[in-house]
């Protein structure tokens, strides 16, 4: 039985249930939050530390690997290859490089990039360190104020980097010769620089070479400095003998350039990018300026064997010009062949250090030449070297030479010539041989035999007369006639066809004829081979 409810008591309040707070899940969520914050910081740091992105173009991707190949400057990594892909036209590969923040200056427009691999060329062996570490991309910072995002990579490392200390100079030449990029430059046989680049001139008539001279040797390049090819052997064969020059063993294989000032007077130091002429050899480079030249035409009526273009033209030992060309012409009037030789002379070479006085001031150059010709100036071929058979043109005075007419209006002026001494000897020997051949030795022998027969008949008649007058002529007359008879018999035997004297005389004449022929052959052979006087015949050497 339930207890009756007291209506006067207030009802009890419903209890409020409060769930107890759990702190353990909040601590677990701190780990991903912290990780996210660290990741964000790292990404932010990477993004803030990243530099610009550039694209390099190479002909091949040999040795490059995305994500591994580094970009280095002075052996310090400044970037990494991110992507390598083929160009749309398949002509090259495009390499995407991510540079570091510190390498932002390498986006200059004139920055250069190249792949460093093991390489063997004229400059030597390079890139051997990549055999173990692998290929990498080298860089050379530019100096331009303009930036770029795409660059064309070099196929070979540059010879001169922009941080090198020294000066560059320009050389102009007719051709490159045996030179190549990296060929050494010498000063007093010491390597002081190298050939950095070369290119063909716009008109196609020459080449321009750019050489780099390292500091402090660049101060030896002055306004009066001369440059010349020092490649291989510099061999000069002239009338003075044989000269052999070379800068070093490297120039024999790789070629090279040398420079020096005449008489060591270099003048003020040359500014960078100054242009110089590149001579073919040291002798040409050191020559003094020749001044204006004059072309002279020579006609020779003899063989020009041993005379070549470039041969010396001298006046009493002073070189005043050179042979430019050699030809052959037929003279229809004289019906003979002439050998024209065009020479170029430099009159100023004779005026150095002296003055021609009134002759120099009163007359023109052409009139002075005519005056000298009237005084006997002639051209003559002479042997300069018996060993090589080289011939040169000599100008000298021949007072006994016949007068010659000179046309002042002719261009070039024709200078008369004279034969050399060897040709004169040959002509004289030929004349002697021809005269010996004209002597009628057979007719002389026949006349002698006829004379002896007539004399024999006369003696027989005289003997008969002596016998008839034997009684009236003294015995001394008979004895004298007998002696005369003996003498005539001896003379007849001596002049007979089979007599020793007659045979000796014929043999002597035959020997003279053969000697004349041999002398003619000798002179012809000496004209073709003058070196045989020293060397002898090649057949003799083989024996």
Please report, for the chain, the start and end positions of each structural domain, with discontinuous segments joined by +. Answer: 47-152, 166-286, 294-419, 430-528
Q: Is 255 exposed, middle or buried (0-12, 13-18, 19+ CB in 10 A)?
A: buried
CA distances from 305 to 166, 308, 392 (A): 51, 8, 11
Q: Is the pTM of this model over 0.95?
A: no
Buried b (16+ CB within 10 A) or exposed e, 383-393: bbbeebbbbbb
Instruction: Compute the distance between CA of residue 134 and CA of residue 360 in angstroms, rounded to an integer.
Output: 75
Tokens of 61: 């991707």
Sheet of 50-58: strand order equals 112-116, 136-140, 70-73, 76-86, 93-100, 50-58, 150-152
pLDDT at site 5: 54
Buried b (16+ CB within 10 A) or exposed e, 46-76: eeeeebbebebebeebebbeeeebbbebeee
Query: For residue 412, is the peptide bond before it cis, meaning its omega torsion is within 30 degrees of 0?
Result: yes
Q: What is the residue whose two structure tokens read 């995407």?
A: 96
Q: Minimal CA–CA distance to 391: which of 290, 302, 520?
A: 302
Dihedral sign (CA 494, 498, 504, 510): positive
> Which residues touch 154 (CB under 8 Å, ≥6 apart)?
112, 113, 114
In tens digits, the chain (543 residues) has pLDDT values of: 445 555 566 666 676 666 655 555 556 667 777 788 887 777 777 666 678 889 999 998 888 888 888 999 988 888 999 999 999 898 899 999 988 888 888 888 889 999 888 765 555 555 556 666 678 898 988 888 888 889 998 888 887 787 788 999 999 999 888 888 888 899 998 899 988 888 998 888 899 999 999 999 999 999 899 999 887 555 555 545 556 555 555 555 557 899 999 888 888 999 989 999 998 888 888 887 776 778 888 888 888 888 888 888 888 888 888 899 888 888 788 788 888 999 988 877 776 545 444 445 566 767 777 788 888 888 888 887 767 778 888 888 888 888 878 777 788 888 888 887 655 555 555 666 666 677 676 777 777 777 777 777 777 777 776 666 555 555 666 666 677 677 767 766 666 666 666 667 777 777 777 777 777 777 777 777 766 666 666 665 444
Instruction: Compute the distance between CA of residue 374 and CA of residue 398 in angstroms, rounded to an integer.
Output: 10
**Which residues make beta-bridge pairs with 414?**
297
Please answer whether residues 160 and 195 qualify as being in contact, where contact means their C-beta atoms are separated by less than 8 angstroms: no
177: left (phi over 0), alpha (psi -120 to 50) or beta: left
Please answer whether residues 186 and 230 qualify as being in contact, where contact means their C-beta atoms are separated by less than 8 angstroms: yes
Instruction: Compute the distance between CA of residue 52 and CA of residue 75 in angstroms, rounded to an integer.
Output: 20
CA distances from 48 to 42, 51, 371 (A): 10, 8, 90
Please answer whether residues 208 and 227 qualify as being in contact, where contact means their C-beta atoms are separated by less than 8 angstroms: no
How crowded is residue 511: how many other Cβ atoms within 10 Å of its Cβ?
Answer: 10
């Amino acid at each position: 039985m339930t207890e009756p409810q007291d209506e006067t008591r207030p009802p009890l309040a419903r209890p409020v249930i409060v769930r107890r707070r759990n702190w353990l899940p909040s601590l677990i969520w701190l780990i991903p939050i912290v990780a996210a914050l660290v990741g964000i910081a790292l990404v932010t740091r990477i993004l803030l530390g990243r530099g610009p992105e550039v694209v390099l173009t190479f002909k091949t991707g040999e040795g490059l690997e995305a994500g591994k190949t580094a970009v280095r400057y002075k052996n310090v990594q400044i970037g990494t290859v991110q992507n390598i892909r083929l160009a749309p036209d398949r002509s090259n590969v495009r390499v995407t490089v991510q540079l570091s923040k510190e390498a932002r200056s390498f986006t200059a427009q004139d920055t250069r990039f190249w792949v460093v691999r093991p390489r063997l060329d004229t400059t030597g062996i390079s890139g051997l360190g990549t055999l173990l570490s692998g290929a990498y991309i080298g860089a050379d910072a530019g100096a331009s104020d303009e930036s770029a995002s795409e660059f064309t990579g070099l196929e070979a490392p540059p010879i001169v980097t922009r941080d090198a200390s020294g000066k560059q100079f320009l050389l102009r030449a007719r051709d490159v010769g045996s030179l190549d990029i990296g060929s050494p430059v010498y000063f007093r046989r010491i390597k002081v620089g190298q050939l950095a680049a070369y290119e063909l001139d716009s008109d196609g008539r020459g080449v321009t070479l750019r050489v780099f001279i390292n500091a402090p040797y660049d101060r030896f390049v002055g306004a009066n400095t001369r440059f010349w090819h020092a490649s291989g052997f510099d061999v000069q064969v002239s009338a003075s003998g044989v000269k052999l020059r070379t800068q070093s063993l490297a120039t024999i294989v790789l070629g090279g350039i040398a420079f020096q000032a005449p008489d060591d007077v270099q003048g003020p130091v040359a500014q960078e990018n100054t242009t110089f002429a590149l001579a073919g050899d040291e002798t040409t480079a050191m020559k003094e300026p020749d001044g204006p030249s004059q072309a002279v035409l020579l006609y020779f009526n003899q063989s020009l064997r041993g005379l070549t273009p470039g041969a010396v033209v001298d006046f009493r030992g002073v070189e005043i010009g050179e042979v430019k060309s050699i030809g052959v012409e037929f003279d229809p009037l004289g019906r003979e062949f002439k050998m024209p030789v065009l020479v170029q002379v430099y009159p100023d070479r004779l005026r150095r250090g002296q003055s021609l006085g009134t002759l120099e001031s009163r007359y023109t150059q052409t009139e002075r030449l005519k005056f000298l010709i009237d005084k006997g100036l002639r051209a003559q071929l002479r042997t300069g070297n018996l060993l090589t058979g080289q011939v040169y043109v000599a100008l000298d005075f021949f007072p006994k030479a016949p007068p010659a007419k000179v046309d002042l209006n002719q261009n070039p002026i024709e200078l008369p010539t004279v034969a050399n001494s060897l040709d004169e000897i040959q002509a004289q020997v030929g004349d002697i041989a021809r005269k010996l051949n004209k002597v009628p030795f057979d007719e002389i022998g026949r006349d002698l035999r006829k004379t002896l027969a007539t004399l024999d008949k006369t003696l027989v008649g005289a003997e008969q007369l002596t016998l008839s007058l034997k009684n009236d002529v003294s015995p001394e007359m008979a004895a004298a006639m007998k002696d005369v008879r003996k003498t005539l018999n001896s003379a007849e035997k001596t002049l007979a066809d089979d007599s020793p004297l007659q045979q000796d005389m014929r043999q002597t004449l035959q020997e003279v004829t053969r000697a004349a022929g041999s002398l003619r052959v000798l002179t012809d052979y000496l004209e073709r081979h003058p070196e045989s006087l020293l060397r002898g015949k090649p057949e003799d050497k083989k024996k």
